[in-house]
Structure 1
Amino acid sequence: MDGERVSVINLSNDIRFETEVVKGIRGTGIIGINGDNVHYAKKDDTIIVLSYGHIPEENIKNHKTKIIFVNTYNMILE
């Protein structure tokens, strides 16, 4: 979601940083890193993007973590 705060773990260089999501063009597979964080990731690095949320206590039992895997073109694998 545009403006959402996320953590990024770069598995290619062991750097972790936080940034905000900026909406891109759907379906392109492009993940861009902007600003000061541009030094922490480069093309073809393998990254993990972590998104967090607040869940009301009464909903915790029914919550299911969602993990999304993508291919080398950043297209979601079913």
Structure 2
Amino acid sequence: MDGERVSVINLSNDIRFETEVIKGIRGTGIIGINGDNVHYAKKDDTIIVLSYGHIPEENIKNHKTKIVFVNMYNMILE
């Protein structure tokens, strides 16, 4: 979601950082790192993107965590 704060774990160099999501072109598979964080990840690095949220207590029972795996082109695997 545009403007959402996320944590990024770079498995290729063991660096973890936080950044904001900037909306891109849907379906391209492009994930870009901009600004000061550009030094923490490069093309072909393997990363994990963590998104957090607050859930009202009454909704916890029905909440389902989403874990998404992608292929080498960043296309979602079913």
Deviation at 1:28, TM superposition (A): 0.6
Q: Give the unaligned 5+ runs of structure 1.
A: none
Deviation at 1:61, TM superposition (A): 1.3
Deviation at 1:43, TM superposition (A): 0.3
Q: Give per-residue Cα distances to partners, 1:27-77, cap 9 Å, x unaligned.
A: 110000000000000000000000011100011111111000000000000
Deviation at 1:4, TM superposition (A): 0.3
* Matched positions, count: 78
Q: Give the TM-score of the pair, scaled to structure 1.
A: 0.98
SS in 2 for 1:12: coil
Distance 2:58 2:25 in 1: 36
Deviation at 1:16, TM superposition (A): 0.3
Q: Give the unaligned 5+ runs of structure 2.
A: none
Distance 2:4 2:62 in 1: 23
SS in 1 for 2:59: helix
**Superposition misfits of 4+ residues, deviation over 6 angstroms:** none
- Within 5 Å, give how 1:5-44 maps onto structure 2: 5-44=5-44
Identity of aligned residues (%): 96
CA-based RMSD of the aligned residues comes to 0.5
User: 2:45 corresponds to which residue?
Assistant: 45
